[in-house]
Amino acid sequence: MSLPNYLKAEQAVLASVFLDNKIMNEVNDKLLVTDFFDSRHRFIYTAMLDLYNDNQSIDYASVFSRLEQAKTTGKAGGIEYIMEVSEHLYTTSNLDSHINLVLDASLKREMIEVASEITKKGYQDDISAKDYIDESEAAVFKISQKRKTSEFSKLGQIVTEVREILETRSKNKGEVSGLKTGFSNLDKITNGLQPEELIILAARPSMGKSAFALNIALNVAKKNRSGKAGVAIFSLEMSNDQLASRMIANQADVPGNKLKSGFLDSNDWASLTSSEQILKNLNIFFDDSAAVTISDVRAKCRKLKQEDNLEIVIIDYLQLIKPARGQSNRQEQVAEISRGLKQMARELKVPVIALSQLSRSVETRDDKKPVLADLRESGSIEQDADIVLFLYREDYYVHDESKKTGDVELSVAKNRQGQSGITLHYKFEPSFSRFIVKEHFEPSGE
């Protein structure tokens, strides 16, 4: 059985170039030499590319000359076949269809080759089942993404698209372009959480970063894609039950200590029943595996993405992700993890929020508000992150309950696509694991 191919389409593409040299611009953008199945066509196309790159005219005589120089005339079918191809058709109107057929067959052949390699690797003893599955999924996903790879766009086309976006925004003033977090001041700064971004949310222990991340998860699931947005939460420190209990307390307005003690009255049960129905309809997926690697996270998220159930990934927390193997020190391990998270965000085209611990050096200062240097192994994390947020709660250092205010500061230490050096203000209700915007924010220039 022959491998997938469309020989007539390959001939038509080459003939189109012979017919109109200007078409080579488009063909060169879309087709590689390896996309041609017939070896004769590969040699002819290689000669065409050489002439194109040298700004030379492409006709059967010049192509034949290049083939002679490379001593590949016979491999290209000889002068008779080159002339046959050059006279193959009399119009270029169906060029796009012919290119698409060539690409379609090329992708099928690549998939067959990858599948063959996957099969061979499966017989090897030096690879674990987990690594084998992850590498296999990655290889297949890479091919599937090729159809979605964007091409160069002309400025005029982009300007038209931007104009349409601006008109839509003008009609829907205040709407954000990314995922809505449910926090209006944060959405103003970020214009919503954007695809491919790595967002670091960092704080010292007990500042409320897990609760804040769960608030974002709940809000994203409820406020995007008409309540059908997919949220993946990897909690390496808390169990699924603990996470769900926090969300129930938040949604039902029932204090967490009541859920723990079981002292619930009839009103509490009514609120819980109502909230249960809301939460059951949300696409929030938990994974509380105690020890996971980046490969584990990526494989699970890739599956959700393929099922159209992934808009955002939340990881609590970065330093608990298990390194792969081979790194000699913690800095290298964290560098691998943060780089892996950024690559995953780009591959899956979703924002990734990774919680991070701050170093103990914060506690030795009089001013305990965090700065970028306080990030553990901060070099790689700071470099890979698009946004770095610090959560600070003065109440943590206040021991007199009567003097606690519930005030929380969220400082935007880094924002690659917008304003930074800004502090946002919230109220934290620990009983309900809930954050409330205290002060609205208007970015400069609005």
Rounded to whole angstroms, how far apart are CA atoms 325 and 339?
15
CATH superfamily entry for domain 178-437:
P-loop containing nucleotide triphosphate hydrolases (3.40.50.300)
- By DSSP bridging, strand 422-429 and strand 434-437 are antiparallel
382 or 23, which is more confident?
23
Give me the residue label for tokens 């059985």.
1
* Structure confidence by residue, pLDDT tens digits, 340-376: 888 889 888 999 999 988 877 777 777 778 888 777 5
CATH no. for 7-99: 1.10.860.10
**What confidence category does residue 13 fall into, taking pLDDT thresholds of 50, 70 and 90?**
very high
Please determine, for residue 182, whether its predicted confidence score (pLDDT) is greater than 60: yes
| Domain residue ranges in the chain | 7-99, 178-437
* Structure confidence by residue, pLDDT tens digits, 396-413: 877 777 788 888 889 998
Output the CA torsion sign for 164, 166, 167, 169. positive
Give me the residue label for tokens 């470099």.
383
Residues contacting residue 221 through CB under 8 Å, at least 6 positions apart = 227, 229, 230, 231, 282, 283, 284
Mean pLDDT of 304-328: 79
List Cα–Cα distances, 187 to 176, 222, 372, 414, in angstroms. 7, 15, 22, 15
**What confidence category does residue 377 fall into, taking pLDDT thresholds of 50, 70 and 90?**
low
* Structure confidence by residue, pLDDT tens digits, 380-395: 787 888 999 999 888 8
Question: Which tokens hold the place of 177?
Answer: 């372009």
